[in-house]
Amino acid sequence: MKHFALIGLPNTGKSTLFNRLTGLSQRVGNWPGLTVGLARAKLLLGGKMVELVDLPGVHDLSGYSDDEAVVREVLQTGDFDAALLVLNASQLDRQLPLAVQLIATSLPCRVIINMADEAKLLGIEIRPEVLTERLGVPVLLVSAKRGQGWPALLDELNRLAAEPTAPRHADLDRVPDNGAAIAAAEGTLSDGWQLPTLLPARWSARLDNWLMHPWLGVPLFFVVMAALFNATYLIGTPLQDGLGELLDAFKVQALVPLFAVLPAIVQSLLLDGVWQGVSTVLTFAPILFVFFTLLALVEDSGYLARAAYITDALMAKLGLDGRGFVMQLMGFGCNVPAVFGTRVMRERGQRLLSMLIIPFSLCSARLQVVVFFASVLFTPAQAPWVLTGLYLLSFAVAIGTAWLFKRRLGGCSEGFLLEIPPYRLPGLKHMLTRATAEVRAFLQLAFNFILIGCVLVWLLTHIPAGDGRTLADAFGQVMAPVLDPIGIPPQLAVALLFGFVAKEVLLGSLAVIYGVPEAGLGAALTTHLDWVSAMSFLIFALTYTPCLATVAAIRQESRSLRFTVLSVVWSTGLAWMLTLLFYQSARALT
């Protein structure tokens, strides 16, 4: 099997091209000898199976950032048959030096100039045949989003895969430094890439006057996010309800008769333990799919880069910069890759500070808990604002934590350079592909923990501990002095315990604890919790210790057991204090 490396600068549409080539077949795994997850996928090209490895975005093969070091390490240690370089058609003057460097490594190379549609709108003229002659390697002009030039690209990749090449390591000793590469690229571009005398006026400039306004930019960002949450509920709730009814019908009509021959205790384990936990999580697939689709729309439109820009001044006061805000936003999908993403920051103090605040992001696992509680304990008009309020709380807690620890951990002293991409309307297929991949990855991760977690919760709720109590009852009584002041019933202590292992287990464990199917979990919670206790549980679940995978990622990236313990102790202690403040204040006012 042949191996192709996919390389490109940030904001070149490399991920879009990767997804269009591979569909949903990609997987993420650590590169041998590295702790970096790289997306890989197998596809058939030229009658041969080829594995495409998507490397982190880089600006310079001779640079010293962590991402650049990772790319150099992979190219030096990996046996690649070819390299595919993705460049932005509108920015060849700044990006072509990377092509000069990559060609110098002696790896067979193909240069893919992406975003041809955007370059055309700007009046930029590109002659691939001239660039092919100057660079000495095939240059292809495409639009991965629109499919422009796609047949020609596939033909070239098929030819490349069919060539009898031997895999080799990249020879990075021959790579020129960035200054020499820039000088070499300047002559290459003449007659091959031409800008118009005057770039056309664009409506995006007027839009940026509002969205990137020093005072209005941040409030407008939260308005956009609030609209996203409302749309998520509006579209996703009917789908969620419909799937829940189908799963309940499947249990009654198929599983109950199937397991009827088994002993009662085994039936209880399978139906009240495994199935209730799994079906509870499955019902959130539709609403998470809607959320990630809309999030892909906001992210790929270019708006999140603008959000990083407008928050840079605020983040600087917290010892961070716009990259810290971007990592915080990434944490709303999953805390683990966001923690790994802190490698783009060159200063250790800034990385540690980012790792300390990322777990406060309302990740997709916590999102399902919030969505469920908001749906069953609040009206449809109130639920989106409960979700919005918890998102605002996550930002507030992160900001407060960064402000408190910026001097202890150090901060950011280097400048933050960010290239603002043009506004884009992402393709529907691309958004659906991303959302499907996110939900699939979430469910795969969730089931690994849920099957084990729900069985353990069932055991704790069924194994006697004397005096008519179960082990769960005994654990709840032990935790009562801690949980009573913050309004969380003792029976939820087990759910919070397993939530440390994986937040995905929280809802499944609740279904097991109350011994009800997913459709009846809402009624059980309504019976045992009022809105104040429910909000207390949500506040604590949002801010207390991150899941075990995130803790492991923090330990790995910080290389400090002391810092990892600090992260767990601080988040749990802060969660208890915030919940205590809310619960006691709410009870005093009601």
Per-residue model confidence as pLDDT tens digits over 493-522: 878 887 776 676 777 777 777 777 656 777
Percent of the chain with pLDDT over 90: 27
Tell me which of 409 and 27 has the higher pLDDT.
409
The pLDDT of residue 265 is 87
State if pTM tops 0.85. Answer: no
Average of per-residue pLDDT across 435-460 = 71
Per-residue confidence band for 198, with pLDDT thresholds at 50, 70 and 90: low
- How would DSSP label each residue in 190-254? TTTEE--SSPPP-HHHHHHHHHT-TTTHHHHHHHHHHHHHHHHHHHHHHHHHHHHHHHHHHIIII
The pLDDT of residue 29 is 45
Give Cα 504 to chain centroid, integer Å: 15
Average of per-residue pLDDT across 425-441 = 79
The pLDDT of residue 303 is 85
The pLDDT of residue 271 is 85
pLDDT in tens, 362-380: 887 788 788 888 888 888 8
Domain ranges of the chain: 2-194, 217-411+428-589
Tell me which of 167 and 576 has the higher pLDDT.
576
The pLDDT of residue 28 is 47
CA atoms within 13 A on the CB side of 132: 9
The pLDDT of residue 30 is 40
The pLDDT of residue 570 is 96
The pLDDT of residue 426 is 79
Alpha helices in 25-127 (DSSP H): 66-77, 92-103, 116-121
Per-residue confidence band for 33, with pLDDT thresholds at 50, 70 and 90: very low
Choose from 8-12, 160-164, 450-454, 554-558 the range with maximum mean pLDDT: 160-164
Q: Which of 518, 524, 505, 521 is nearest to 242 (CA)?
A: 518
Per-residue confidence band for 485, with pLDDT thresholds at 50, 70 and 90: very high
Average of per-residue pLDDT across 6-19 = 86
pLDDT in tens, 311-358: 777 787 888 877 677 677 767 767 876 786 676 676 788 889 999 999
Average of per-residue pLDDT across 199-226 = 81
| Distance from C-alpha of 117 to C-alpha of 262, rounded to nearest angstrom | 63
Per-residue confidence band for 34, with pLDDT thresholds at 50, 70 and 90: very low
Asked which of 47-61, 64-78, 196-210, 349-363 is least confident by mean pLDDT, the reply is: 196-210
Across the chain, mean pLDDT equals 83
| Residue 170: exposure state from Cβ atoms within 10 A (0-12, 13-18, ≥19) | buried
Average of per-residue pLDDT across 74-102 = 93
pLDDT in tens, 379-411: 888 888 888 899 889 989 999 999 999 888 865
- Could you tell me the fold of the domain covering 2-194? Rossmann fold (3.40.50)
Buried b (16+ CB within 10 A) or exposed e, 178-188: beebbebbeeb
The pLDDT of residue 396 is 92
Give me the amino acid identity at 211: L
The pLDDT of residue 404 is 92
Task: Say yes or no to pLDDT of 109 above 80.
Answer: yes
Q: In which element (H, E) is residue 28 found?
A: strand 27-30
Task: Say yes or no to pLDDT of 457 above 70.
Answer: yes
Task: Say yes or no to pLDDT of 26 above 60.
Answer: no
pLDDT in tens, 119-134: 988 889 999 999 999 9
Q: In this structure, what are the phi and psi dihedrals at residue 260, rounded to the nearest 5 degrees?
A: -65, -25
